[in-house]
Homo-oligomer: A and B are copies of this chain.
């Protein structure tokens, strides 16, 4: 039985990013950039006034207070028509182009009315360059502004707009297919008989994949017969990622492993030393990654985050593949005798300048309701026998924090 870390390593080694695709820049949010983006302009594109005020020759303000002549009124978007010469100023708005001749801007707040429309009293001297953002100060024409591999967030969308890059190359999100197996499963809209339960894993797994921007198709429920599984799986093998839920234990109706092998799927591992979620299959056929997860809902949730999350991140071109792990102060004692690494649903919060964490009360890996009280997974190392209140312990953050 391999360790969690070995299993993750095997998955990552066997996943390559999907072929880049071009999208309209507004649709690129959340994706990973697949090309370097260069600017077609300087930013600012001209010497830009950072204030509302008067464009002056700094030297003229040395003897302030001083009255100077207003020769022009320049708004943002206006092309300055006149050169500022000694004794003269141009009135200028924030974002407007500083006229030739001027080398500083005096803010309105540092001027006074003279009573004459074409004259202004400068009450405070300014230094050369004051309140001017120089052409190309932030971005130079031809400069690479965004690098391949960056995640596109709102600020990157703003940069794409600034440099006129309306179509951009990104790594796409994978197409994911999901199959749940088990004779006991019925659809959400059905009322289960006394020996049945509703299919919930397909939907929680779909939500986990959709949270990562993946396109998901729920392919249905396969009964515990090989033919049933084979039929649905054939459709699933068209996807980039196929997730099967259930049917991976050692019981005689746990047919998923056999069906995958008979379908020519290359199996990389079938068991991982973790709890919950020991029976986890990872395989590959052509370009399709196949994950078969245990049917217990909590094991399903955990194994997605541990194994499918990094696979989808890599397919999407990202270099950071795992969820954020931080250390937190444990708020209760925990006893454990597992030889497998354990991931326990827990609730963390930031208080008194540190993360604190407590496991949520639960009845084991079928108790999905317990996970609705959790926002992280507490990692109990393989070798741990007891963990004590007040000690630091690693936790994997599951929710988006903001």
- Enumerate chain A interface residues (CB-CB to B < 8 A): 25-26, 29, 40-41, 43-46, 48, 50, 52, 75-80, 93-97, 108, 133, 137-139, 145-146, 150-151, 153-164, 166, 182-185, 188-208, 210-211, 224, 249-254, 295, 297, 301, 323-327, 350, 353-354, 363-364, 366-372, 374, 392, 397-402
| Oligomer: number of copies | 2
Which residues of chain B are near A188, meaning CB under 8 Å? 25, 160-161, 164, 166
A363 in contact with B138 (CB, 8 Å): yes
A204 in contact with B96 (CB, 8 Å): no
Which residues of chain B are near A295, meaning CB under 8 Å? 94-95
- The contact sample of 14 A-B pairs, CB cut-off 8 A, is A25-B203, A50-B364, A52-B252, A78-B195, A79-B193, A97-B194, A138-B363, A154-B207, A154-B301, A155-B374, A157-B206, A159-B368, A162-B368, A401-B402
Which residues of chain B are near A150, meaning CB under 8 Å? 372
A161 in contact with B45 (CB, 8 Å): no
User: A200: which of B162, B198, B297 is its contact (CB, 8 Å)?
Assistant: B162
- Minimum CB–CB distance from A9 to chain B (whole Å) comes to 20
Given contacts A251-B52, A402-B397, contact A158 B196 (CB under 8 A): no
Which residues of chain B are near A97, meaning CB under 8 Å? 194-195
In whole angstroms, how far apart are the Cα atoms of A138 and B296 in the complex? 13
In whole angstroms, how far apart are the Cα atoms of A392 and B350 in the complex? 14
In the complex, the chain B residue whose C-beta lies closest to that of A353 is B327
In whole angstroms, how far apart are the Cα atoms of A324 and B161 in the complex? 28
Which residues of chain B are near A145, meaning CB under 8 Å? 369, 372
In whole angstroms, how far apart are the Cα atoms of A78 and B138 in the complex? 69
In whole angstroms, how far apart are the Cα atoms of A301 and B295 in the complex? 44
B204 in contact with A191 (CB, 8 Å): no
B158 in contact with A301 (CB, 8 Å): yes
In whole angstroms, how far apart are the Cα atoms of A52 and B224 in the complex? 15
Question: Residue among A160, A183, A400 with the most chain B CB within 10 A?
Answer: A400
B156 in contact with A372 (CB, 8 Å): yes
A137 in contact with B363 (CB, 8 Å): yes
Given contacts A50-B364, A158-B297, A164-B191, 20 further A-B contacts (CB under 8 A): A26-B203, A29-B207, A41-B192, A45-B197, A52-B252, A52-B254, A76-B183, A77-B195, A80-B195, A93-B251, A93-B252, A108-B251, A146-B372, A153-B207, A154-B207, A155-B204, A161-B204, A164-B188, A166-B188, A324-B402
Given contacts A75-B224, A153-B399, A402-B398, contact A161 B366 (CB under 8 A): no
